[in-house]
Amino acid sequence: MFEEVALPPDVDAIWWPRFTRLAPDFLRWERERQDRVTARRAEARAMPVLVGETGVTLSGYADRIDLLPAGFADILDYKTGSSPSKAQAHTLLAPQLALEGALLMRGAFQPLGALKPDQLAYVRLKPNGSVEEDSILEIKGKSASVKSAEQLSNEAWARLEKLLDHYNNPEAGYVSRALPFKVGDFGGDYDHLARVLEWSSGPDAEDFE
């Protein structure tokens, strides 16, 4: 497979050993799922769906959709790193999976028709060769929370519609980063326009009289 896509030698040297380490545990993970999965769809495309009365449509791709009995499906997103975290996805700071669930319920993934999401999860492919299914439906600790996939998807859709309504107002300004994930994160797409790094590198407040 790597030879067919003619990857650069440095990419091949890094990723081929990683894929060979992943293969055994990936097969183990697939076997554990096979009794409940009736069909699998990779790189499933969601057709544009109008978001409420905003005049804006949402579309996209899901890494994988596993069809289940009784009109349900799992949406899986492959990750080779730790970002975004399940907490960020659960609280909708990173709403991609939940929005895919909302599109699924609206029949956007043709020709599957409208289905209900049963599980929304990251499939994390670890450098040590382990494969971990990381559900975003539950977080533990101080901010413990459990939501169904349908509930989380509906919440993400409602928030998106509210956000689009907000920005449909010509008086509403656009901010570079309304909710930064963490202190010192300067990876926003529009940070250069907002001069975030420049304004964040000045002296501390106590240096001023």
pLDDT score for 204: 53
Q: Compute the distance between CA of residue 191 and CA of residue 197 in angstroms, rounded to an integer.
A: 7
Tell whether the model's pLDDT for residue 26 goes beyond 90. yes
Report if residue 115 sits inside a domain: yes
* 171-180 as b/e: b if 16+ CB within 10 A: eeeeeeeeee
Q: What are phi and psi of 197, to 5 degrees?
A: -65, -40
The DSSP result for 10-71, as a single string, is HHHHHHHHHHHHHHHHHHHHHHHHTTT-SEEEEEEEEEEEE-TTSS-EEEEEEEEEEE-GGG
Highest mean pLDDT among 15-24, 46-55, 176-185: 46-55
181 and 167 belong to one structural domain: no
How many CA within 13 A on the CB side of residue 197?
Answer: 9
Share of the chain above pLDDT 70, in %: 89
106 and 191 belong to one structural domain: no
96 and 158 belong to one structural domain: yes
Q: Which two tokens stand for residue 89?
A: 């996805």
* Cβ 58 vs Cβ 48: under 8 Å: yes
Neighbours of 1 (CB within 10 A): 7
Q: DSSP letter at 1?
A: -
Share of the chain above pLDDT 90, in %: 68
pLDDT score for 88: 92
Report if residue 51 sits inside a domain: yes
89 and 22 belong to one structural domain: yes
Report if residue 209 sits inside a domain: no
Q: What is the pTM of this model?
A: 0.85
Q: How many domains does the chain contain in total?
A: 2
Each residue's pLDDT tens digit, 125-165: 999 999 999 999 999 988 899 999 999 999 999 999 999 99
Taking the CA atoms of 53, 59, 63 and 66 in sequence, report the sign of the dihedral they define.
positive
Using DSSP's 3-state secondary structure scheme, residue 77 falls into strand
Of 84-93, 147-156, 194-203, the poorest mean pLDDT is in 194-203
Q: Tell me the pairing of strands 72-79 and 57-67.
A: antiparallel
Residue span of the structural domain in which 183 resides: 177-203
103 and 189 belong to one structural domain: no
